[in-house]
Structure 1
């Protein structure tokens, strides 16, 4: 079997990102001007790639990040399993590790291996992983799709990478992310490997 290529992309910047407000799965925000520019830069770098399919979450900011690919007429599927983790009652508010004791405790718990922990009303990483598994199975079995583009969200992407690469979810902080960053993976039919890690070269302004 010929190796397949998966472009795993985080969505572009939103005003909520700039203001440090948690979006999660419950805030369906749009890209801001910077996010739209990032999306255009990514398309300028990779618009020539013959993607067989574009996958996004069910949230607007992922679809807007790849809209120029969709405008080419590429097949597209939106999957709610790719949505961002739910941060529960904190969605739409500004929370930081420094200011929020519960947030700090939950994040520390994840690193320590308590990946069933969640913020009030939110999801745990284990729950996010469970809803991602049907999509991962789909990704594994659609071997006629040699090159695919998957656009999703920061925390959900960390969970996804742990699952694809067989890391425990407690290691997810090792997969850093930024707006419109790319993880490029190769799939042999049995094993996923990362070829590009936190790639933002497409966002570099020309000298």
Structure 2
């Protein structure tokens, strides 16, 4: 790897990291798990640790990067949850008394965590949970709450309204794992992954539009051991989205982030945590870095902070 020098129009002085990885958009050149540095000084830029193919692609192009957090919360308990029944999309139930208490507890736990954006499923149980969290959080005052149907629960087809154990028995009879089993008329895991991918693409674009400013310096991916605090991983990021959704969707999202986007797990977590059902008002948190260039907004880096934290309930 060499350094390359070009005379260009004077631009902002500084040193800028460039991550050579694309997830959602195919670039002419992609080099996984490698990076180069763009150093700007005296009206010239120097690209270090890159090869010529990537230099040719990046030459004279402006790239913006943003690192931000996403905190994902499952809705509180409903009477259907309590009875072990599948709600899916057809049954738009409200929170039970215990579910309201859980939502209030989540709101108090997250009350000092700064959020800059809020996204929520269009189903009642998620909206009620989101309202309780936002109510306790002063940083959410005046924020737009974006209701997004792509965050709704999985459709379980003919199994909706029945017992969870009955769906597990259906999967066993079909010779499949119940985590991957699709009841007749239900939504497949691949369809759910597509929904999650589309939501993330929309969220990335929204975060960049809301929080990237000309001349803004990239903060970088925060590191450090967990302190067991509600704001773990987000104290040094410029933006942070709250996302309130549902158990089955969150479980598939965790698998998608780890299996397909290759998100590394922190020490102490393994795949058993990834595939476990998130408890009511359980909390997951990830840190993302995205890059905005001529190819659009693409994911550059991802880190898991924690999965299914529930010490508030």
Category of TM-score, reference length = shorter chain: 0.7 to 0.9
Q: Decide whether aligned partners of structure 1 residues 96 and 191 sit closer, same or farther in structure 2, where only a CA change above 3 A counts.
A: same
Superposed counterparts of 1:34-113, under 5 Å? 34-71=98-135, 72-96=141-165, 101-105=169-173, 108-109=176-177
After superposition, the C-alpha distances for 1:76-120 in whole angstroms (9 at most, x for unaligned) are 1111111111110111121306x8532335693466xxx5x5101
SS in 2 for 1:24: coil
Q: Decide whether aligned partners of structure 1 residues 42 and 110 sit closer, same or farther in structure 2, where only a CA change above 3 A counts.
A: same
**Shift in Å, 1:2:** 5.1
Structure with the largest fraction of helix: 1
After superposition, the C-alpha distances for 1:168-196 in whole angstroms (9 at most, x for unaligned) are 9xx79833211100001111222222112
Distance in 2, matches of 1:32 and 1:70, equals: 19
Structure 1 contact 125–159 (Cα < 8 Å) conserved: yes
Distance in 2, matches of 1:57 and 1:172, equals: 26
| 1:150 aligned residue | 243
Runs of 4+ in 1 over 6 A off after TM superposition: none
**Which residues of structure 1 form unaligned runs of 5+?**
none
**Which residues of structure 2 form unaligned runs of 5+?**
1-64, 136-140, 212-238, 262-270, 291-299
Superposed counterparts of 1:108-187, under 5 Å? 108-109=176-177, 117-141=181-205, 142-143=207-208, 144=210, 146-167=239-260, 174-176=274-276, 177-187=278-288
Structure with the largest fraction of strand: 2
* Count of residue pairs the alignment pairs up: 196
| 2:308 aligned residue | 198
Distance in 2, matches of 1:178 and 1:94, equals: 18
Give the root-mean-square deviation of aligned CA atoms.
2.4
Q: Decide whether aligned partners of structure 1 residues 193 and 10 sit closer, same or farther in structure 2, where only a CA change above 3 A counts.
A: same
**Shift in Å, 1:18:** 0.5
The structure number with the bigger radius of gyration is 2
Distance in 2, matches of 1:81 and 1:12, equals: 19
Structure 2 contact 115–240 (Cα < 8 Å) conserved: yes
Structure 2 contact 158–184 (Cα < 8 Å) conserved: yes
**Shift in Å, 1:50:** 2.4
Structure 1 contact 42–202 (Cα < 8 Å) conserved: yes
